[in-house]
């Protein structure tokens, strides 16, 4: 019988957290840093919201509800015997630009408190931190490096990106000191996200597909030529898991890694929607510019290289049309328009 393993997922009731939990439960076991696989005995999901019903019904799942920073201050997390932590909880980009204090509390203070709590365990768990492509940005008056590579110096141009980059450095230093085994993965913009819109500046990159398929209008606040680096939910979860699994020698000395990205443009995304669901779908797109979102999105890179991720066996999505069709297959109840 395999040895037991306990896992903590922050933001575990959110879309990515819940999908990661389902994947882990389906696998039933996980290898950490190349060691023999161990049986997943318990997954603790922490979030303000309760987990989806299917996860709440699984005997292996425990939910610890509440504000993450408050839970950490009360020493309710992580529990003794935690072997791996996937830190996904965060205030998103648009929220952080609008409310500086929210971002500093939810992203920076809560992350440092979590790192301290993992340090206090004394057992050196594996910690996978969900960073973002927003750590890269276009400096005013300077061209954006093209392409962005694993070793490109981050120059974030948003509060969210700065908070994520600071947390990458904290993860690196805590890991260097031997408090835990840390890996940071820079997530691409995840599209298509199901469910309700969130406060991310990049949220329209899901909404422009999700809402028209449901027969609803959707805002596209940037020009069609805007380049974007995307990853489907499935590819994103693969990257999070591989970060925990990879042996140290394969991961290498750099803590942060660019996950695979599909390079496309907003116009090409709209074209893929039309291929799948026809002009009835793209007629629902409102291309009215939004200056605030446009300024933020224009600082993000669209051409990101991911050689280290490729060497770890990860892959990008084949095409955005395939991403749209995967969304339709996984969320048939959310699709109201006929598809081809």
Asked if 257 and 184 count as a contact pair (C-beta separation under 8 A), the reply is yes
Closest CA to 37 of 79, 88, 1, 77: 1
What distance in Å separates the CA atoms of residue 260 and residue 235, rounded to the nearest whole number? 8
Which member of 15, 160, 165, 180 is catalytic? Answer: 160
Asked if 232 and 269 count as a contact pair (C-beta separation under 8 A), the reply is no
b/e 203-230 (16+ beta carbons within 10 angstroms → b): bbbbbbbbbbbbeeebbbbbeeebbbbb
Q: Torsion angle of alpha carbons 192, 198, 201, 206, nearest 10°?
A: 20
Beta-carbon contacts of residue 139 (< 8 Å; ≥ 6 apart): 155, 157
What distance in Å separates the CA atoms of residue 70 and residue 77, rounded to the nearest whole number? 10
- The values of phi and psi at residue 46, to 5°, are -120, 135
Task: Specify the pairing of strand 29-30 against strand 4-10.
Answer: unpaired
- Residue 160 is among the residues annotated as catalytic for this protein: yes
What single DSSP character describes residue 108? I
- For residue 187, count other CB atoms closer than 10 A to its CB: 21
What distance in Å separates the CA atoms of residue 61 and residue 282, rounded to the nearest whole number? 41
Q: Torsion angle of alpha carbons 41, 118, 241, 252, nearest 10°?
A: -140
Bridge partner list, 45: 9, 63
What distance in Å separates the CA atoms of residue 203 and residue 189, rounded to the nearest whole number? 9
- The values of phi and psi at residue 240, to 5°, are -60, -45
Q: Which residues are catalytic?
A: 160
């Amino acid at each position: 019988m395999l040895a037991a393993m306990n896992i903590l997922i922050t933001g575990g009731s959110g879309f990515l957290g819940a999908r990661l939990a389902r994947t882990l439960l389906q696998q039933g076991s996980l290898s950490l840093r190349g060691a023999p696989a161990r049986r997943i005995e318990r997954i603790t999901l922490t979030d303000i919201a309760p987990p989806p019903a299917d996860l709440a019904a699984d005997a292996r799942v425990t939910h610890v509800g509440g504000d993450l920073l408050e839970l950490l201050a009360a020493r309710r997390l992580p529990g003794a015997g935690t072997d791996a932590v996937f830190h996904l909880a965060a205030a998103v980009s648009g929220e952080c630009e609008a409310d500086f204090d929210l971002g500093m509390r939810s992203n920076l203070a809560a992350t440092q408190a979590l790192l301290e709590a993992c340090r206090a365990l004394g057992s050196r768990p594996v910690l996978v931190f969900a960073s973002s492509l927003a750590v890269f940005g276009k400096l005013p008056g300077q061209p954006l490096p093209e392409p962005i590579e694993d070793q490109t110096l981050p120059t974030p141009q948003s509060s969210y990106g700065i908070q994520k980059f600071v947390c990458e450095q904290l993860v690196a230093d805590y890991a260097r000191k031997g408090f835990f085994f840390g890996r940071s993965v820079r997530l691409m913009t995840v599209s298509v996200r199901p469910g309700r819109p969130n406060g991310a500046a990049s949220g329209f990159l899901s909404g422009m597909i999700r809402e028209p398929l449901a027969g609803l209008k959707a805002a596209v606040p940037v020009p069609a030529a805007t380049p974007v680096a995307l990853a489907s939910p499935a590819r994103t979860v693969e990257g999070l898991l591989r970060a925990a699994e990879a042996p140290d020698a394969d991961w290498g000395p750099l803590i942060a890694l660019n996950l695979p990205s599909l390079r496309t443009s907003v116009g090409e995304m709209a074209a893929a929607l039309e291929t799948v669901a026809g002009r009835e779908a793209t007629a629902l797109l409102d291309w009215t510019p939004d200056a605030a979102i446009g300024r933020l999105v224009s600082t993000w890179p669209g051409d990101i290289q991911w050689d280290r991720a490729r060497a770890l066996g990860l892959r990008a999505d084949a095409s955005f049309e395939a991403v749209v069709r995967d969304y339709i297959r996984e969320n048939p109840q959310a699709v109201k328009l006929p598809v081809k």
